[in-house]
Amino acid sequence: MTIIDGKKVSAQVKEQVAVETKELISKGITPGLAVILVGEDPASRVYVNNKKKACELVGFKSEEFNLPETTSQDELLSLVEKLNNRRDINGILCQLPLPEGLDENAVIEAISPLKDVDAFHKQNVGRIMIGDYDFLPCTPAGIMEMLHAYNISVDGKKCVVIGRSNIVGKPMGMLLLHENGTVTICHSHTKNLKEITSDADILVAAVGKPKFVTADMVKNGAVVIDVGMDRDENGKLCGDVDFENVKDKCSYITPVPGGVGPMTVAVLMKNTLKAARLQNGLK
Ligand code: NAP
């Protein structure tokens, strides 16, 4: 059993981004990422801090916009519009979830598709579907990069994704399909979940429920990818997979923390670099 080291792979990705950023800066272009945070959700604050730190590390300019919980939809959209028009900002990210009363979809659609480094805009989602894209969504793309780093082939494998959210489950299924996996996507209406998951060569858990995937749901020798960022009964960070009991059945498994999370941030850096290139007429 190998524990996939997401920290290590993400450090390699960020190192490469840093090298390419230096080259870009020498041409007078400094990639810029704008991060919008509305309200004071503590988990969102941690994610935003991690993204800012990563920007510093790779040499980007990052600008944070902390808006109060009481921000109106119009105020938020007008900030997005301003950022869309700023040449020094190449990527715009609005940390989700938004406080109640704000329309997430409207905000996602307001971000210019060229600056949509999360790849949530429907134009980018459509392009991913047909395999002709500039940006991939950070979490699923980060998972694919981890698989590549460990030479885990998807081709012909039975891949099961638990979860069908727009930001993780659905695009995850699509990326596995692009690499010739045979993909099943499960959700809360799925019947006989255990039967389906225990047939998976590659199992991705994106459920949002602590230790949801138990050892009896996993095939011997499976690759298990844990997207979950949950809290256990003691308030400690854990994943969607019961790591201690599942790990010995796996060929590969990702830990929480130190697995998928760092990869998500690394892909965000890649996307922002690409956005800066494209907006400046470079490939
Ligand atoms: P989400 O939008 O809440 O989606 C959860 C999915 O799980 C839904 O599709 C839901 O089905 C399905 N589900 C719930 N209960 C189930 C059950 N009993 N059996 C089968 N499926 C079930 O969550 P998300 O945004 O995709 O996030 C999932 C987890 O990943 C969360 O813990 C989140 O914090 C974490 N996350 C981590 C990263 C990272 O960088 N590491 C990034 C994003 C998210 P229905 O559609 O039928 O409701």
Average pLDDT over residues 51-75: 97
Q: How confident is the model at residue 96 (pLDDT cuts 50, 70, 90)?
A: very high
Q: Quick one: pLDDT at residue 225?
A: 99
Topology (CATH) of 138-261: Rossmann fold (3.40.50)
Q: Is the pLDDT of residue 266 over 90?
A: yes
Q: Is the pLDDT of residue 24 over 90?
A: yes
Active site residue 95: yes
Assess whether the C-beta atom of 200 lies below 6 angstroms from ligand 1: no
Tally of CB atoms within 10 A around 257: 14
Return d(Cα 23, Cα 2) in angstroms, integer: 36
Where is 58: in which H helix or E strand? helix 42-58
What is the torsion angle, in degrees rounded to the nearest 10, for the CA atoms of residue 98, residue 102, residue 103 and residue 106?
-90
Please say whether the beta carbons of 162 and 207 come within 8 A.
yes
Q: How far apart are the first and last CA of the chain?
A: 39
- pLDDT tens, position by position, 196-213: 999 999 999 999 999 999
Active site residue 123: no
Please say whether the beta carbons of 283 and 68 come within 8 A.
no
Q: Is the pLDDT of residue 19 over 90?
A: yes
Q: Is the pTM of this model over 0.85?
A: yes
Check 14, 95, 157, 242 and give the catalytic one. Answer: 95
For the sheet with 61-67, list strands across it.
61-67, 32-38, 91-94
Q: Quick one: pLDDT at residue 206?
A: 98
Q: Quick one: pLDDT at residue 75?
A: 98
- pLDDT tens, position by position, 143-194: 999 999 999 999 999 999 999 999 999 999 999 999 999 999 999 999 999 9
The segment(s) of the chain belonging to CATH 3.40.50.10860 are: 28-112
Average pLDDT over residues 68-86: 98
Q: Which atom of ligand 1 is nearest to the CA of 206?
A: 28
Smallest Cα–Cα separation from 138: which of 279, 1, 274, 278?
274
Assess whether the C-beta atom of 165 lies below 6 angstroms from ligand 1: yes
Question: Is residue 138 packed enough to be buried (19+ CB in 10 Å), middle (13-18) or exposed (0-12)?
Answer: buried
Question: What are the distances in angstroms from CA 108 to CA 104, 201, 208, 245?
Answer: 6, 34, 22, 39
What does pLDDT average to over the chain?
A: 97
The segment(s) of the chain belonging to CATH 3.40.50.720 are: 138-261
Q: How far is the CA of 60 from the centre of ligand 1 (A)?
A: 31
Pocket test for ligand 1, best of 41, 118, 165 (most atoms within 8 A of CB): 165
| Side chain identity, residue 220 | N
Give the residue, by CA position, lying nearest to ligand 1 atom 41.
261
CATH number listed for the domain at residues 28-112: 3.40.50.10860
Please say whether the beta carbons of 210 and 238 come within 8 A.
yes
Q: How confident is the model at residue 283 (pLDDT cuts 50, 70, 90)?
A: confident
